[in-house]
Amino acid sequence: MNKILQLSREYRKLNHVELLPHTNNEILEKLFFLYDEKWEEQSQYPYEILTYLFDSYYVLPERPDLASLFCWQAINHSYYMEQLGDNSINFCKDSQGVTLIQRAIYEGIDKYKPILDPYLERLPVKVFHYVASYMLKGYAMENNNIPEKFRASSYNSLKQRIPMLLDIISHSYGKAYCQIANPVQINGEVNLGIDPENKEKSRNIIHSFGEKLKKLLLGEQIEVTFCDPEKTKQQYVFDEQNKLTFVLFGIIYASRCNNFHGNVAARMNSINANVDTFKMYTYIFLLEYIILAIHMNSRGEVSDGVLDMAKDNVKLML
């Protein structure tokens, strides 16, 4: 019997854990926990943030996807409190909050870049395949006039915030993808209309675009060949703002939204989940964890000493 159906008929936690892809991950034994001794001295501490982190720890190592969602809630509370404390802000919004984190990191770029960059360098390519996939699918659906509600919201967010990505897609990868994809809406779902013989070509386009995205995030200049008769070549490079936008909106916030809104299978329970999925979400959790530490440091909630120790969690990204 299908293992999903079998577990649904008679749920046993042990059977569920065995069904999940995993490795012998000792993350809880090696993780530097966010904790500042001044909280005891001041009898004041970030209560709500710590409660969300407890939930992150509770589901590790088996469910890094859930750990990343709980860690996002901690980040959410951090920027929520910043919005409440800003008298110029009349209404709290997630996108506005993420922008505040981006601003905090950018304003302290000399201090925070050496801490954040090693995490970005260790992100697995599967993360970039994920971004490339939702961007190309979003572009194909938009080109075929599929209603916006079927597209990942992160597609619209990234193309508006980093215009060069839309330029790359519309002239190169998206154009190539649309030659083999013909999305149609059927009974409340979208079929991408990719013939079986083009499945491998579809993966190759996504993976190639993903490789370019990884190079951009690492600060490398890339060359893209356009799908035009002249085979025009164009160079692109991310500045620091582009990099922060890509990380915060294109990876972390996108992962949260695409999981939280329930339009996909639970990541680790998906029939497509594997050890690479486990690794990807473990690394996304660690990336979120250091971003939370950086934002708390920028707000004076954790000391430079604590942040200095927290940065060593990057060693868990093998």
* pTM, full prediction: 0.91
Which residues, other chains included, contact 296 with Cβ-Cβ below 8 Å and sequence gap of 6+?
A: 34, 46, 49, 78, 302
Chain Cα centroid distance, residue 34: 21
Residue 303 DSSP one-character state: -
DSSP string, 63-80: -HHHHHHHHHHHHHHHHH
pLDDT of residue 262: 44
pLDDT of residue 114: 97
Structure-block tokens of residue 98 = 């993420």
pLDDT of residue 261: 43
Contact 223, 235 (CB under 8 A): yes
Residue by residue, pLDDT tens for the chain (318 residues) are 477 788 888 888 888 878 777 776 789 999 999 999 999 888 789 999 999 999 999 999 888 999 999 999 999 999 989 999 888 888 888 889 999 999 999 999 999 999 999 999 999 999 999 999 999 999 999 999 999 988 888 899 999 999 999 999 999 999 999 999 999 998 888 999 999 999 999 999 999 999 999 999 999 999 999 988 899 999 999 999 999 999 999 999 888 766 544 456 566 666 666 788 888 999 999 999 999 999 999 999 999 999 999 999 999 998
The rounded distance, in Å, linking the Cα atoms of 2 and 250 is 34
Nearest-5° angle of CA 246, CA 287, CA 121?
A: 70
- From residue 40, alpha-carbon distances to 36, 43, 45, 280 in Å are 8, 5, 8, 35
pLDDT of residue 209: 97
Chain Cα centroid distance, residue 119: 13
